[in-house]
Chain A
Amino acid sequence: MNRLQKNAWIEFGVAVIAALLSVVFITSMVASNVRGITYVIALVVACCVIGPFVASFAYKDESKYDERERMIRRRAFRWATCALILFLILACYVPFFLIGGQGNIPIYYLLIIFWGSLLITQTVHSSVILFQCAKEQDDG
């Protein structure tokens, strides 16, 4: 397993953990109906937990990868962006057409869209990297 695959697995693992934590976070927030300053404090605590995930995703040092690895990452990024756009379109338009223009949706749905988009992006990104690496190894 090369470092690209190892990083992909780590990023994917952190994304899953962050998603699970956020499910717990959202559920508890909804149950206790928090708002205002309580919400801000809870958010800061949640960010401290989920921060490492964002940091690992956002601040990758590209210079340590060679040209081939950078190309794989670029392709994975393109796929992840396409998946994100598709997910956002579906998540935004499907409820609108199902419920209707004059209906209402629970506000925590917006948070679910946010966490869902993070998870989908990271999952596709890692999967494409792993798939490309596996394919290259098969080809020799």
Chain B
Amino acid sequence: MNRYQKLAWFNLIVITATIIITSAAVAIELRMRGYSTIGGWFVAILVLLKFNPFLFKKPQGRDKVLCDERDSFIIKRARSFAHTTFWIVFIVSSFAVHILMGMGPKSSVPTITLPLMAVGGALFMKIVCSVAILVQYGRGGKGAKQ
């Protein structure tokens, strides 16, 4: 398993764990107290994503190779796929809300929807990119060993 595969797995594990823990905490809190204030703070686990450069260091030294032509191509294609998928989901979700709720001046959504949308979009791109990397390495046989 090379560095990019490890990074992709790490991203997926952190995001999945955050979603599960936060949902469970909010659900438990709602059941016990009727409202939730603490549960949402578990999204702070996502900070772990910023520790990628420290956890998976680039190989040092002259004879060490970070990535070859194939790795670069896989990363490029995964990013491109994530970008395209993001736009499709963005367009569909923008219009789906209107189809369901109407377009009148009185139709409204809570303001919390906006930051959730931004965070959701970023996480979605990260998930799609990571999955695309893993699928491409999986499809092309074993990943190159570092």
Which residues from chain A sit less than 8 Å from chain B, CB to CB?
26, 29-30, 32-36, 39-40, 43, 81, 88-89, 91-93, 95-96, 99-108, 110-111, 113-114, 117
CB of B90 within 8 A of CB of A92, answer no
CA gap between A93 and B103 in the complex, in Å: 22
Task: Out of A30, A92, A95, A102, name the residue touching B105 (CB < 8 Å).
Answer: A30
Given A34-B103, A35-B101, check contact A93 B94 (CB 8 Å): no
- The chain A residue with its CB closest to the CB of B86 is A84
How long is the Cα–Cα vector from A113 to B113 in the complex, in angstroms? Answer: 13
B28: interface (CB < 8 Å): no
- Chain B: how many interface residues by the 8 Å CB criterion? 27
B3-46 contacts to A, CB under 8 A, are none
Mark out the residues of chain B between 70 and 112 whose CB falls within 8 Å of any chain A CB in the assembled complex: 83, 90-91, 94-95, 97-112
Q: Check: B65 CB closer than 8 A to any chain A CB.
A: no
A-B contact count (CB 8 A): 95
User: In the complex the two chains form, is B97's CB within 8 Å of A89's CB?
Assistant: no
Residues of A close to B95: CB separation below 8 A: 43, 111
Contact of B115 among A30, A36, A96 (CB under 8 A): A96
Whether B111 and A101, one on each chain, are in contact in the complex, defined by CB atoms closer than 8 angstroms, is yes
CB distance from A57 to the nearest CB of B (A): 10
Q: Does B114 contact A (CB under 8 A)?
A: yes
Q: Is the CB of A104 within 8 A of B99?
A: no
Q: Which residue of B lies closest to A36 (CB)?
A: B99
Asked whether A29 lies within 8 Å of B114 as measured between CB atoms, the reply is: no
Closest to B95 in A: A43
Q: Does B47 contact A (CB under 8 A)?
A: no
A108 / chain B contacts, CB cutoff of 8 Å: 98, 103, 105, 107
User: Which residue of the partner chain B has the closest CB to A90?
Assistant: B118
Please indicate the chain B residues that have their CB under 8 angstroms from the CB of A101 in the complex: 111-112
Q: Does B143 contact A (CB under 8 A)?
A: no
